Structure 1
Amino acid sequence: MSLDRMDKRILKALQKDGRIGNAELAKKLGMSATACWNHTKRLMEEGYVKEVRAILDPEKLGLPVLVTVGVVLDRSTPESFAEFEKAVRDIAAVQECLLLAGEFDYWIKLRVKDLQAFNRLHANTLLRLPGVRQLRSFFVLNEVKNNPELVVE
């Protein structure tokens, strides 16, 4: 299905505020509440909207340290990738894990309380992930831009 102009406007608005009510969204976009609901429901049913959730402040939750970790596995096989991916999904501190082409096999983004917490996670968990040959850690000094919004054209 292709997106029409109104679908795109709804998606943009929901990215800005996923908590907006249907009546308020309809008013903001200049359409009836019924038409707005029909568009929104279809967008959700067809998977354009994967989920709606709150974005929490990591500092207020005591997780101010953002670390990215480049991972190199000892083998590049579908089995070793699957085993690594299964294990990394269970690590609560990991926010993202991306399979890459290039210098690293995976790039992990994680949040921790402090350097000591990262050291424990590194020693007790990351180094013990299946197939890990090398880890390179990078401590983020400043998040210049962290925007989960997608461009909807």
Structure 2
Amino acid sequence: MEITLDRIDRKLLKLLQQDASLPNIDLAEKTNLSPPACSRRIAKLKELGLIRKTVALVNPRALGYNGLVIIGVVLDRSTAESFTAFEKAAAALTGCLEVQLVTGEFDYFIKLRIRGIDSFNEMHSAQLVSLPGVRQVRTFVCLKEVFETTAIPV
């Protein structure tokens, strides 16, 4: 279902994606709305499911997560049950940011924040190899994080 957005809705979504901590009064001023009208607009965007949730983006390096790995996974069988079991277990991995079902050579990609290679090696031995239904795992260690965003074009 595609939702039609007007200029003000788009501006609100852009502003909130840049800084969701902006006070309502600032959002209202930047969109030429009264504060109550602005609050109603944001509530409607939430009600429509355009805003899923509001979060703080934490600096991973400040918490000691200095690395990023992307893991390609091939399962040993392609059944609904094996996908469900794998997805549940993969989402519980330490530092897991994303689990994506994909087409091509792999069945899934997992994006993980890691503290370092030693901690990843321990996690690989303790958690990755015991994921249900895994036939093959291929790990890609990111050397440089070039670009990352959470903003969706509106």
TM bucket, shorter chain: over 0.9
TM-score, normalised relative to structure 2: 0.96
Deviations 1:106-126 (A, max 9, x none): 000001111110001111101
RMSD: 0.9
Using the TM superposition, give the Cα deviation of residue 48 of structure 1 relative to its aligned residue in structure 2, in angstroms.
0.5
Q: Percent identity?
A: 44
Q: Which residue of 2 aligns with 1:112?
A: 114
Contact 2:91 2:98 survives alignment (8 Å): no
Residue number in structure 2 paired with 1:36: 38
Match of 1:15 among 14, 17, 21: 17
Equivalent-residue separation in structure 2 for 1:43 and 1:92 (angstroms): 32
- What runs of 5+ residues in structure 1 fail to find an aligned partner? none
Q: 1:47 aligns with which of 36, 42, 49?
A: 49
Instruction: Find the counterpart in structure 1 of residue 100 from structure 2.
Output: 98
Specify the SS of the correspondent of 1:60: helix
Tell me how far 1:92 sits from its aligned partner: 2.9
2-side partners of 1:26 and 1:104: how far apart?
Answer: 46
Quote how far apart the aligned CAs of 1:69 are.
0.3
Aligned mates of 1:113, 1:4 — CA distance in 2: 43
* Other-structure match for 1:145: 147
- 3-state SS of 2:30 partner: helix
Question: Which residue identity lines up with residue 58 of structure 2 in the other structure?
Answer: L
What one-letter code is carried by the residue in structure 2 that aligns with 1:119? N
Q: With the length of structure 1 as denominator, give the TM-score of the two structures.
A: 0.96
Distance across 2 between alignment mates of 1:87 and 1:55: 24
Distance in 1 (CA, whole Å) between partners of 2:104 and 2:86 is: 17
**Distance across 1 between alignment mates of 2:141 and 2:131:** 20
Structure 2 counterpart of 1:84, from 86, 94, 114: 86
Unpaired runs of 5+ residues, structure 2, are: none
Corresponding residue of 1:134: 136
Query: After TM superposition, which residue ranges in structure 1, 4 or more long, deviate above 3 angstroms?
Result: none
- Cα deviation code 1:51-91 (max 9, x no counterpart): 11111111111001101100000001111101101111222
**Whole-angstrom distance in 2 between the partners of 1:89 and 1:100:** 15
